[in-house]
Amino acid sequence: MSFDDTLDPALRSWLESANAADTDFPIQNLPFGRFRLAGETASAWRIGVAIGDQVLDLRRAGLIEHGDMARLMSASASVADRRALRRAISAGLREGSAQRATFSEALLPQAAVQMGLPCEIGDYTDFYTGIHHATTVGKLFRPEAPLLPNYKWVPIGYHGRASSIVASGQDFHRPLGQVKAADAEAPVLRPSGRLDYELELGIVMARPNALGEPVPMAAAEDHVFGLTLLNDWSARDLQAWEYQPLGPFLSKNFASTVSPWIVTLEALQPFRAPPERPAGDPLPLPYLDSPYNREAGAIDITLEVWLQTAAMRRAGLAAQRLSTSNYRDAYWTLAQLVAHHTVNGCNLRSGDLLGTGTLSGPQPDQAGSLLELSLGGQQPVTLANGEQRRFLEDGDSVILRAYCERDGHRRIGFGECIGTVLPARQLEGAT
């Protein structure tokens, strides 16, 4: 793997907040997102890049001529174009840059802007790449055979609902749906009592492929713009009743929360790693294999889940970390997801989102969902303030965080992905 000068760990910015050791957004990161100012219309999204505690308005900085993220991602369809824009942004933000005065006028405090979805999401596919999540959940329902026979051969996924994907910070109502108790003769309509979070990453597509044209492994990552944090909220009791024979429906499509910043694959290059599989597992079929994927298909990203209850907020208590895991433990790489998604000729488009599925680690305390942490609700999680959680309650806020760090390279982060559960809406006939 080769690194260009935008990844130099010694590189510093004239913006001091970008040089802080604990910032998610040093000059080596430069993630993309959309923002607007207070009072601006819903259609007035601007494209920005996070740097320290500021956001750089790319249009005001003279780097682009529009505010259309889909257009930018399409224009960045080639790796060369994408890297050229990254180099231009990096050059203007470096210490000693002749563009400092121009770029300074294009900076706004992140705290003073409203962030939205990082792009308009056209289609959404959710995969199931977390083998430790799949195994733990499988043991709850199929102790004798936790993993189905196809898991180690094919990246399992389903098509989700793009219209209910919301930006970080947007609250959502507890979903209603049919629930059937094991000893009941008939289901009832009621608010979900087993609401859960799912710690995931989102893969944002840039370069489209034509209908009928599979994307080979060697070119798969050229089609990806970058990664975001994704919380794919799940209503476990609705899911248990509805998911056979066609899979999730109302248990998944009520809300999914995405973080505002897309961290590009260029920024993640220093944190690549070879994917690992247990000895004896089958090798991927040839269309899911490549020399580069074997060498560096995985990415070392530390992932965290934090919870702040309504009682904690009232008492002035900060959120509590529930678990930590790592994207390296995923069974399938992002290139394999793209290659498999398109091998039948499916056409992906700029702005499409692929979810990784819940990313849990091998240890019980590395679970990416409450379903796992509480063992299906049998073993409640006790918080530092004495509260307990089997599943989420109204007023709970879930915060996802992620970062990459490695000796010899600058630490970079993803920001936060935050959502708060509101009470269910009243509906006639619900219990």
Domains and CATH numbers, the chain: 5-115 (2.30.30.230), 124-422 (3.90.850.10)
Write the pLDDT tens digit of every residue in 76-109.
556 788 889 999 999 999 999 999 999 999 999 9
Neighbours of 12 (CB within 10 A): 16
Binding residues for substrate are: 128, 142, 239, 243, 358
Residue 75: the pLDDT is 67
Write the pLDDT tens digit of every residue in 119-147.
999 999 999 999 999 999 988 888 888 89
Compute the distance between CA of residue 308 and CA of residue 318 in angstroms, rounded to an integer: 7
Neighbours of 315 (CB within 10 A): 9
The per-residue b/e assignment along 270-297, b for 16 or more CB within 10 angstroms, e otherwise, is bbbeebeeeeeeeebeeebebeebeebb
Write the pLDDT tens digit of every residue in 1-27.
667 999 999 999 999 999 999 999 999
Whole-model pTM: value is 0.96
The residues carrying an active-site annotation are 133
Write the pLDDT tens digit of every residue in 334-390.
999 999 999 999 999 999 999 999 999 999 999 999 999 999 999 999 999 999 999
Compute the distance between CA of residue 416 and CA of residue 42 in angstroms, rounded to an integer: 22
Mean pLDDT of the chain: 95
Binding residues are: 126, 128, 142, 198, 200, 232, 239, 243, 252, 256, 358
Residue 52 has pLDDT above 80, yes or no: yes
Residue 1: the pLDDT is 60
Residue 44: the pLDDT is 85
Peptide bond into 245 cis (omega under 30): yes
Binding residues for Mg(2+) are: 232, 252, 256
The per-residue b/e assignment along 210-226, b for 16 or more CB within 10 angstroms, e otherwise, is eeeebbebebbbbbbbb
Among 27, 25, 110, which Cα is nearest to 412's?
25
Write the pLDDT tens digit of every residue in 143-172.
888 898 999 999 999 999 999 999 999 999
Residue 216 has pLDDT above 80, yes or no: yes
Is residue 324 very low, low, confident or very high in pLDDT (cuts 50, 70, 90)? very high
Compute the distance between CA of residue 110 and CA of residue 226 in angstroms, rounded to an integer: 21
Amino acid, res. 332: W
Residue 157: the pLDDT is 95
For residue 318, give the 3-state DSSP assignment.
coil
Binding residues for Ca(2+) are: 126, 198, 200, 232
Compute the distance between CA of residue 115 and CA of residue 427 in angstroms, rounded to an integer: 32
Write the pLDDT tens digit of every residue in 267-309.
999 999 999 999 999 999 999 999 999 999 999 999 999 999 9
Residue 39 has pLDDT above 70, yes or no: yes
Residue 94: the pLDDT is 98
Apex 110 CA angle, 108 and 113, nearest 5: 80
Query: For residues 196 and 391, is the Cβ–Cβ distance under 8 A?
Result: yes
Neighbours of 418 (CB within 10 A): 22
